[in-house]
Structure 1
Amino acid sequence: MAAETFEQRVERACNDLEIPGLVMVAGDRDGKFYYEKAIGNRSLKDGKPDPMPLDATMWLASCTKLITSVAVMQCVEKGLLKLDDDVSTILPELKDMDVLVDFETGPHGKDKPVLKKNTKTVTLRNLLTHTSGLSYDVFNPVLMRYRATQGIQPSLYVTRPPKEAFHFPLLFQPGEQWEYGVGLDWAGWMVERATGVNLEEYFKKNIWGPLGVKSMSFYPNKNPAIKSKLADMSIREGGITMFGNPAEPNGKTIYIDDNIYSLDMTESTGGSGLFGAPLDYFKLLQSLLRNDEKVLKKGTVDDMFKPQLSPAQISSFEAKLAIPEVNVQMSDLPAGTKVDYGLGAGLIKNDIPGRWKAGTLFWSGYPNLHWYIDRESGIAGMIGSQLHAPGDPKFVEYAKLWGEEMFRQRGKEKL
């Protein structure tokens, strides 16, 4: 009996409800290799067959950050923004922020936050590289504890004005550590204020227009063509743990009547708010891989791939990745992988055999989407699903197999 191919294995996984459905797209720098495939279901609702279309749209979540970073770097090219200036001149909301250092027991035994004044400048470079001290209240236990003192329950489904929902104390003085957070949301609002154009329209004119993309929007409810192709969300039976990982890793995937992120946001949120087709997202990845100057100058793209972190920042980043439940959410890097951070995405500093070369930019999105740009190997790709929550081990297993399969297929094309 012939060995099972990669695609047959994925199809079996979808039929067995190990995963709901995938869109996969990859290609090389010179156009000799290109791969696109949709497998599985767009929705598991009612148990009816609903094949995943190749042009399915998805909530892209933190994959939005790369696009916002490109917009920021376009503004840097034009002299509208500077990477090392104090952001509070454009974002007065971030002026004189406090640093949350501890809690003490207040009246009636309740937590009382201990705050101290920040003495360092928050720069645009800090926002792009997650070194500002900002985090996510919905993911960080310390900020969740802080929010409890305010009577606020953090949620991905933002119901308050985003600039209010994404405003809380810093966890450290800017530049001292690395902590994943809402910096790119604030960076996106800097683009809006520097250009006088909202991020939806800015992306459309300056990024998606040059790439010939029409499937992207922060407001799917206002864009019927995008919403009509939106894949439904799924969840693994048994729910999720406090880390956002499945409580039953081998449970079946089932339909969930929850978009996780609001389809009716009042503002463009550059850290997590974009909806669109992975097939089209890849066009940006390939443009950056080719360095074809459709959206950024060659030197600017080179700068995005340069390591940005200090040794102390790298140590705190690697400490996060040493937590298995966190590592699996960030593409499940092999133990000992050396990392840094570029301008807008994670950066691999050593080869991962059969998968990525040193210098690869990568990141992921909450409902299990992964992308990468491997300039050394000359290949980029994206794999996407809509599975709550991030770092689902079954999805990650097939995402790694897909990455290895693309590496092999690309190698054959080069022979």
Structure 2
Amino acid sequence: MASETFEQRIERACRDKEIPGVLMVADDREGNFRYEKVFGSRSLKDPSKSDPMTKDATMWMASCSKFPTCVAVMQCVERGQLNLDDNVTGLLPELKGLPILAKFDTGDTQPTMAENTKPITLKHLLTHSSGLTYDVFSPTMMRYRIVVDKFTPTLNIKKPLTEALKFPLVFEPGASWEYSVGIDWAGFMVERVSGMDLETYMKKNIWDPLGASSITFHPKKNPSTFANLTDMSVRSGGITPFGTAVDPEAPVEYTADRVFGLNMPDCSGGAGLYGNILDYQNLLHSICADDGKILKKETVDYMFQDHLTAASKAVFNKRLEDPALRETLGGGMMTGMEITYGLGGMIFLKDVEGGRRAGTMAWGGYPNLLWFCDRKAGLSGIAGAQVVPAGDPKFNRLFALWEQELYKKAGKGKL
């Protein structure tokens, strides 16, 4: 019997409800190779009728928002409007004097706070080494938010983001690593130096120059984007305290819970973009090809360097030993791999056999989207599903298989 092709494998995955549906796009720097395919369903809401995934599907991109926000920041750096090593509190007075939450154990009624004496720099914000965190990823901060702030942590935020994302640090800036809201704050800096909200800024300086019309922070204000919105699915069987699926083998099913509000007035540079991933690939291609449309080559070179201190990098790699976190950040090719963080995503420091080269940048988004940009091989791509929770092992394994297929088909698999 002939072995199963990648396309047959992913069609089977969709048919068996391992994943609901997926849109995949990749291309090479030279314009000789393009992969653009859809599989499975746009929605599992009504099992009695077919609702296939389409190439114009709109998805919540979640943390895929971080890379274009970093690109916007670096455009402002190129213009001299921002400096990566400056103390950010000149533009972000909200972060001035934030204490460090040293301890808040279950039995405590009062947190233990320490004074922070180190400045938070823009580079710290971009590399998740500022001391800020996501409350949902930090049990200590989660407890602080509920007990002290009387705030229920949720992505469906009902207050201004500058209030909702302001809370103590969890370490001294530059001393460690913690996935954080730092890039949201960096987005506010772009707004303050440009005089535009991030929606307007990105449209003018990133999406319009690349011919990417679907991507927006406000899908309800963009009729064509909203009309193509993909439904969400959830891995049945419940969610662990860390936020991953209890049973990764359980089938997926429709959920009406959108996780992230469609009506947020602010622009969340860390998680707020919606759009079509074919448009997002236009950005990855531009960066991979060094075509100069968005950023100078030397700026992109700098973004793809190692920007963590030794202390921060050691913590980051230690954290990646946790299978749950490793799956959340992309699974597949990460076991035993030394990784650092650039300005926009994590950087792989070793070649992957038959695949991405050392220096490749990669990241993803909460409802299981993953992207990579391999400037050395000249190949980039993004795959998007709309299934929660994050870090789905089924999706991660399929993405890894797809990436192997891409390098083979593009003739770039040989190291």
TM value normalised by structure 1: 0.97
For residues 218-273 of structure 1, the C-alpha deviation after alignment (integer angstroms, 9 at most, x for no partner) is 01111111111111110011121112211121111100001110100010010000
Aligned partner (choices 113, 119, 122) of residue 121 of structure 1: 119
| Alignment partner, residue 372 of structure 2 | 372
Distance in 2 of aligned mates of 1:158 and 1:217: 18
- Distance in 1 (CA, whole Å) between partners of 2:198 and 2:146 is 32
For residues 23-69 of structure 1, the C-alpha deviation after alignment (integer angstroms, 9 at most, x for no partner) is 00011110111100010001100212110001211000000000000
Residue 22 of structure 1 contacts residue 38 of structure 1 at CA under 8 Å; is this kept in 2? yes
For residue 373 of structure 1, give the secondary structure of its aligned residue in structure 2. Answer: strand
**Which position in structure 2 is the counterpart of 1:273?**
272
Using the alignment, how far apart are the partners of 1:334 and 1:211 within structure 2? 31
Give me the identity figure in percent: 51
In the alignment, residue 113 of structure 1 is paired with which amino acid? P
Structure 2 distance, partners of 1:130, 1:412, is 32
Q: Compute the displacement of 1:104 (Å).
A: 7.0
Within-5 A mapping of 1:259-338:
259-332=258-331, 333-338=333-338
Query: How far apart are residue 132 of structure 1 and its match?
Result: 0.3
Q: Note if contact 1:104-1:114 (Cα within 8 Å) is conserved in structure 2.
A: no
Displacement of 1:413: 10
Once residues 142 and 254 of structure 2 are traced to their aligned partners in structure 1, the CA distance between those partners, rounded to angstroms, is 28
Cα offset for 1:160?
2.1
Partner of 1:39: 39
Matched residue type, 1:271: G
Counterparts of 1:378-397 in structure 2, within 5 Å, are 378-397=378-397
Please give the per-residue CA displacement for 1:335-364, whole angstroms capped at 9, x wherever unaligned. Answer: 220111111210000011123110000001
Give the counterpart letter for 1:10 in structure 2.
I
Distance 2:284 2:250 in 1: 33
Q: Greater shift after overlay, 139-148 or 128-137?
A: 139-148
| CA drift at 1:157 | 1.7
Structure-2 residue corresponding to 1:15: 15
Q: 1:11-410 to 2 correspondence within 5 Å?
A: 11-47=11-47, 48-103=49-104, 111-150=109-148, 151-332=150-331, 333-410=333-410
Q: Distance in 1 between matches of 2:412 and 2:75?
A: 36
The 8 Å contact of residues 104 and 140 in structure 2, kept in 1 or not, is answered as no
Match of 2:146, as an amino acid?
A
Cα contact 1:162–1:267 (8 A) shared by 2: yes
- Please report how far the alpha carbon of residue 111 of structure 1 lies from its aligned counterpart in structure 2 after TM superposition: 2.0
Partners in 1 of 2:316 and 2:46 — Cα distance?
Answer: 42
**Segments of 4+ moved more than 6 angstroms:** none
C-alpha separation between the residues in 1 aligned to 2:54 and 2:386? 13
Task: Flag the 1:212–1:169 CA change in 2: closer, same or farther, 3 A.
Answer: same
Aligned to 2:111, the other structure's residue is in SS state: strand
Whole-Å separation in 1 of the counterparts to 2:409 and 2:118: 49
2:133–2:169 Cα contact (<8 Å) kept: yes
Q: SS in structure 2 opposite 1:215? A: coil
CA separation in 1, counterparts of 2:7 and 2:38? 10
- The TM-score normalised by the length of structure 2 is 0.97
The secondary structure found in structure 1 opposite 2:411 is helix
Q: Write the letter of the residue equivalent to 2:61.
A: L
Which deviations, in whole Å up to 9, do the C-alpha atoms of 1:293-322 show, x marking residues without a partner? Answer: 100011101111111111111111011111
Structure 1 residue 412 displacement after superposition: 7.2
Write the distance in 2 (CA, Å) between the matches of 1:35 and 1:169. Answer: 44
Shift of 1:110: 5.0
Structure 1's 110 and 373: CA in aligned 2 closer, same or farther, altered over 3 A? same
SS state of the match for residue 152, structure 1? coil
Equivalent residue pairs, number: 411
Q: For residues 352-378 of structure 1, what are the alpha-carbon distances to aligned partners after superposition, in whole Å with 9 as ceiling and x for unaligned? A: 112311000000100000000011211
Mapped partners of 1:117, 1:279: distance in 2 = 46
Deviations 1:356-406 (A, max 9, x none): 110000001000000000112110000110001111111111111111111
1: distance between equivalents of 2:310 and 2:407? 31
Matched letter for residue 78 of structure 1 = R
Rounded Cα–Cα distance in structure 1 between residues aligned with 2:270 and 2:105 = 32
In 1, are the aligned partners of 2:304 and 2:361 still within 8 Å (CA)? yes
Q: Whole-Å Cα distance in 2 between the matches of residues 127 and 381 of structure 1?
A: 25
Q: Is the 8 A contact 1:33 1:413 kept in 2?
A: no
Gaps of 5+ in 2: none
